[in-house]
């Protein structure tokens, strides 16, 4: 999974450079629109993380295993960011994750691509 994200990051950067060259050298309107769409992709990725967490949040039941959700492994970069940043910097992201979850729901997010490490917290 990590190699897939690395390949996507390299392709994203190459596409951004190619579009920049098209915009600067040829001043094509379609390239400007494509660059704007390309710039919105990371924003949409982070914004879609909240609803994904809301969908997989489970009610907290004593003794219940929080079995890892395969769909959430797509968001491991955001989970690693939450897990490895200081608490005051992660508050807005934690709010976004829990704002739509059921009260008392358990939200777990992966912190690595293999899906072995998960960071869990309860929606308030």
Can you tell me the distance from the alpha carbon of 112 to that of 27, in angstroms, rounded to the nearest whole number? 41
> Which ranges of the chain would DSSP assign to H, the alpha helix?
2-26, 29-56, 76-84, 87-98
The total number of structural domains that make up the chain: 1
Residue-wise pLDDT tens digits, 15-57 = 999 999 999 999 889 999 999 999 999 899 889 988 888 887 7
User: Which residue range is the domain that position 29 belongs to?
Assistant: 2-122
The C-alpha angle with vertex 110 and arms to 40 and 45, in degrees rounded to 5, equals: 10
* pLDDT for 67: 52
Q: What is the pTM of this model?
A: 0.71
């Amino acid at each position: 999974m990590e190699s897939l994200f690395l390949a996507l990051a390299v392709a994203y950067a190459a596409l951004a450079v190619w579009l920049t060259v098209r915009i600067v050298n040829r001043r094509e309107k379609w390239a400007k629109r494509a660059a704007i769409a390309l710039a919105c992709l990371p924003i949409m990725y982070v914004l879609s993380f909240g609803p994904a967490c809301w969908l997989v949040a489970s009610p907290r039941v004593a003794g219940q295993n929080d079995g890892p959700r395969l769909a959430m492994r797509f968001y491991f970069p955001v989970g690693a960011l939450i897990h490895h940043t200081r608490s005051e910097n992660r508050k807005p992201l934690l709010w976004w994750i829990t704002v739509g979850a059921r009260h008392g729901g358990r939200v777990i997010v992966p912190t690595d691509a293999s899906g072995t490490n998960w960071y869990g917290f309860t929606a308030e």
